Amino acid sequence: MKKVFLVVLSFILLPALVWADTNIADDFRAHYNPATSNLSAYNKDLNTLIGLNDFHTGKATSFPGFDIGATFGGVKTGSDNNISSEDYLITPFITAETMVPVLNTTFVVRGSAFNGFESIGAGIKYNYNVLEFFDVTLAGFYDHAQTDWYTMEHLSFSAVASASVLFFTPYLGVGYDYGDLSTKKYSPNRSTSDDAARWTAGVRVSPFPLLYVFGAYTQTASNAGFQAGVGVNF
């Protein structure tokens, strides 16, 4: 199982290492102009990049087990984002979660450190097992992100529903992202606060016991994102 997990992980995360060859921090430094850059549009794209990681199923983590996964996500930058030189903002995330059965609540931590971009966050999920094969989960997260040139505080809330059929679990979700981004080391520094709703459709597949892979597409009013991931639930 360990070998299978590592092989699948390499196939999912290798594109992040090959495709995302632009340092996010350096790219911001090279193209950001305090007088003319649309910091709000850039912030909205970062919001989506982090919010993509809110869910990959409506099912709850089983007790006393853990769910540990790795994701590769990307956001097609909005047309008003005149800071990013690349068509996509891309970064992988690591997530880990476990359930406290007395509260029927799942606690989650997640983070990333890739191409000059760092993010660390935590959240909670509350699951409703509506039917044996149908689940709904509500979630809320807080994240702190930064590069050498800005800091960001991110909040997200989401709801996702999924139905399990054999080893397939398709899911549909909605979310809300709010981000407060502030530049640093500039004169003058600027800040912006922005929010947006997002809609996600995806499918999770469990080809082997404990192991799962998933893929999803997300749309907001100003950008679109995709996500692929692998994890173990034990």
Task: Give 5's pLDDT tier (boundaries 50, 70, 90).
Answer: very low
Domain boundaries, the chain: 2-233
In the block, which residue shows the tokens 């080809």? 207
Residue 152: which of 45, 73, 70, 71 has the closest Cα?
A: 45
What is the per-residue pLDDT across 22-64, written as a single tens digit (0 to 9) for each? 799 999 999 999 999 999 999 999 999 999 999 999 988 876 7
Which two tokens mark 212? 């799962």
Residue 141: which of 50, 225, 223, 217 has the closest Cα?
A: 50
What is the per-residue pLDDT across 141-179, written as a single tens digit (0 to 9) for each? 999 999 999 999 999 999 999 999 989 999 999 999 999
Q: Return d(Cα 74, Cα 87) in angstroms, integer.
A: 10
Assigned CATH class of 2-233: mainly beta
Which two tokens mark 142? 């807080």
